[in-house]
Amino acid sequence: MAENGEIDVVVFDVLGTMVDEPGGLRAGIREAVPDAGDAFADELLTEWQRHVESEQRRIAQGERPYATSEVIDTEAARRVAERAGITDPAALARLATAGQRLPPWADSVAGLDRLARRLPVLALSNASQAALLRICAHAGLRWHQTLSGEQVRAYKPAPEIYRLALDTAGCPPERALMVAAHAWDLRGALAAGMRTAYVGRPVGDPPADSDTFDWQVTGLDELVTLLTSTT
């Protein structure tokens, strides 16, 4: 367990941790396919998510050259459009940017603002630089700095992404805290020597029994209180 005063910088995952990615994508799909029932909308969302996960995995395995999240999202939108029978170019173009209009969780904006008064806060995301700018602006998330995997042409949990955060922060890994709703993301940060905090969200990847993160909390407010109690 880390002592609060040992943390010099807090690094946050964004998608799923600070914003409701599935909820925002589902809203974008419903806008594009207003007559879709719940079951069909969920099928289209699953189609989108599977494509993104598959392509990021292929890039990580060297089976595909690096492509930004915007490129992969556009591919996913085309797959959804084909299945749903969307032919209007304007509707397809708007659907392709659904991943940039994601609602924040109820505690994200206030919790981040409260923490940022006490510690440096960085966003570290698989979203491209341009997409990350729009995601944070739409959700009202204010960071001291935003970092994208595009800067190192990789997707988390590639080690070079966590190294980007550490190099930007200019502190040793044991004084940097990675916050995420995804255990796989925290395992990547842990491998880089960072401190780790799991924040429970309705979506995400919960810890396994074998995971040993520094903190496990049910919401961002709880974590911020822990981090600011002695800093």
Once rounded to an integer, what is the mean pLDDT over residues 132-157? 98
Residue 230 has pLDDT above 90, yes or no: no
CATH number of the domain residue 127 falls in: 3.40.50.1000
Residue 101 has pLDDT above 90, yes or no: yes
| Interacting residues of 222 by C-beta distance below 8 A, sequence separation 6+ | none
Please report where in the chains the tokens 């969307």 appear, as a residue.
86
Q: Measured between alpha carbons, how far is residue 80 from residues 40, 83, 85, 121, 201 in Å?
A: 11, 5, 8, 35, 26
- The pLDDT of residue 204 is 83
**28 and 77 part of one domain:** yes
Residue 3 has pLDDT above 60, yes or no: no
Q: Where are the alpha helices (DSSP H) in the chain?
A: 21-32, 38-60, 69-84, 89-96, 108-116, 129-139, 159-169, 183-191, 220-228
Domain interval for residue 176 = 4-20+102-228
pLDDT tens per residue, range 172-217 = 999 999 999 999 999 999 999 999 999 999 998 999 999 999 999 9
Beta carbons of 208 and 183 less than 8 angstroms apart: yes
Contacts 24+ apart (CB under 8 A), 140-145: 140/104, 140/109, 141/14, 141/18, 141/19, 141/104, 141/108, 141/109, 141/112, 142/112, 142/113, 142/116, 143/12, 143/112, 143/116, 144/116, 144/120, 145/120
- Which one of 100, 132, 161 terminates a domain? 100
Residue 90 has pLDDT above 70, yes or no: yes
Once rounded to an integer, what is the mean pLDDT over residues 136-159? 98
15 is written with which tokens? 């998608």
C-alpha span between 138 and 92 (Å, rounded): 20
pLDDT tens per residue, range 5-48 = 589 999 999 999 999 999 999 999 999 999 989 999 999 999 99
Percentage of residues of the chain with pLDDT beyond 70: 97
- Which one of 75, 100, 125 terminates a domain? 100
**93 and 112 part of one domain:** no
C-alpha span between 54 and 182 (Å, rounded): 17
Residue 2 has pLDDT above 50, yes or no: no
- Which one of 54, 69, 100 terminates a domain? 100
**13 and 119 part of one domain:** yes
Residue type, 1: M
C-alpha span between 154 and 222 (Å, rounded): 31
β-strand partners of 199: 217
CATH number of the domain residue 57 falls in: 1.10.150
- The pLDDT of residue 1 is 38
**61 and 146 part of one domain:** no
Once rounded to an integer, what is the mean pLDDT over residues 123-131? 98
Residue type, 176: A
- The mean of the pLDDT values for the chain is 95
pLDDT-based confidence at 229, cuts 50/70/90?
A: confident
Angle at which helices 89-96 and 21-32 cross, to 10°: 180
